Amino acid sequence: MTLPIIIVIVLAVLVAWFVGTYNMLVRMRNRAKEAISDIDVQLKRRFDLIPNLVETVKGYMQHEAGTLEKVTAARAAVSQAHGDPIEREGAENMLTNTLKTLFAVSENYPDLKANTNFLELQRELADTENKIQASRRFYNSTVMELNTSIETFPTKIVAGMFKFMKEKFFEVANEAEREVVKVKF
């Protein structure tokens, strides 16, 4: 082989690697955007279920108006929160906590607990919360893969040239949620 042919082959391999690396980073970035969108879909689903839950509960829980007002206020806070889901996480956590309070208070109303609509809404909200958590885990996994690629050599070269930025992880905002739950009987 002559020297010009070897140089052409080496350049072709470098160009192929460069294009492949760039395309991989674009796919990872788009997967992270898709994952954050999946979280939004689940948050919207929860947001839409809450008015139905509140209406179902209102007739049974006339003495618990404060709890219903907190749920309504938390839902309003979520609707007014702007930015990406990570920035809205505080409002979402407040809503999650008020829903837990609502379900805890519902234990005092046997007729409500047996109501088919309430049970179905409670099941749907629990399912939605599980999907939100799964979506957040998927997002964090995708972000970890993207961030690792951006930070490791030789991919770091291509990432730096095209200004690929690291993404933020979803993290527990409230330190109390990090503590181990104590079960007492």
CATH of 7-170 given 2.30.40.10, 3.40.50.10480, 3.40.50.1820, 1.20.1440.20:
1.20.1440.20
Q: Which residue has the higher pLDDT, 17 or 126?
A: 17
The answer to whether residue 120 scores a pLDDT higher than 90 is: no
* CA 99 to mean position of chain CA atoms: 17
Distance CA 70, CA 98 (A): 6
Q: Find the mean pLDDT for residues 177-183.
A: 53
Q: What is the dihedral of CA 119, 123, 124, 129, to 10 degrees?
A: 140
Q: Does the pLDDT value for residue 180 go beyond 70?
A: no
Ordered by start, the domain boundaries in the chain are 7-170
Q: Could you tell me the pLDDT band of residue 185, with boundaries at 50, 70 and 90? A: very low
Q: What is the pLDDT of residue 162?
A: 96
H-helix segments, 59-183: 65-80, 89-106, 110-114, 116-151, 155-161
pTM: predicted TM-score of the whole model, two decimal places: 0.73
The phi and psi torsions of 84 (rounded to 5 degrees) equal -75, 165
Handedness of CA 146, 165, 18, 26 (dihedral sign): positive
Please tell me which of 9-23, 53-67, 122-136, 169-183 the model is most confident about, judged by mean pLDDT: 9-23
135, 35 Cβ separation under 8 angstroms: yes
* Alpha-carbon distance values, 61 to 66, 106, 112 (Å): 10, 8, 8
Q: Specify the pLDDT at position 174.
A: 64
59 — pLDDT class (breaks 50, 70, 90): low
Each residue of 83-113: pLDDT tens digit?
Answer: 766 667 777 877 788 877 777 777 776 666 6
**What is the per-residue pLDDT for 166?**
96
What is the C-alpha to C-alpha distance for residues 37 and 45, in angstroms, rounded to an integer? 12
